[in-house]
A and B are shown apart, each in its own frame.
Chain A
Amino acid sequence: MIEVKGLSKRFGNTQVLTDINAVFQKGKVNQIIGKSGSGKSVLAKCIVGLHVPEEGRVLYEGRSFHDMDREEKTLIRQEIGMLFQGSALFDSLNVLQNVLFPLQMFATMSKSEMEDRARFCLKRVNIMDKDRLYPSELSGGMQKRVGIARAIAMNPKYLFCDEPNSGLDPQTSILIDDLIKEITEEFDTTTIVITHDMNSVMETGENIIFINQGRKWWEGSREDLLNSDNKELNEFIFASGLMRQVKKAMTGRS
Chain B
Amino acid sequence: MTTTTSPTATRWERLRDSYLLYSFKRDLIAQVSLLVFIVLVAAAVLAPWLAPMNPYDLAQIDILASELPPFWIDGSDPAYVMGTDSQGRDLLSTILYGARVSLIIGFGAVAMQAALGVCFGLLAGYLGGRVDAFLMRLADIQLSFSTLMVAIVVGALFKAIFGGATYSAYAVPLLVLIIGLAEWPQYARTVRASVLAEKGKEYVDAARVMGLSSRRIMFRHILPNTLSPIFVISTVQVANAIISEAALSFLGLGMPETQPSLGSLIKSGFDYIQSGSWWITLIPGLVLVILVLVINLLGDWLRDVLNPRLYKG
Q: Decide if A and B are genuine partners.
A: no
Q: Which residues does B use to contact A, with CB under 8 Å?
A: none
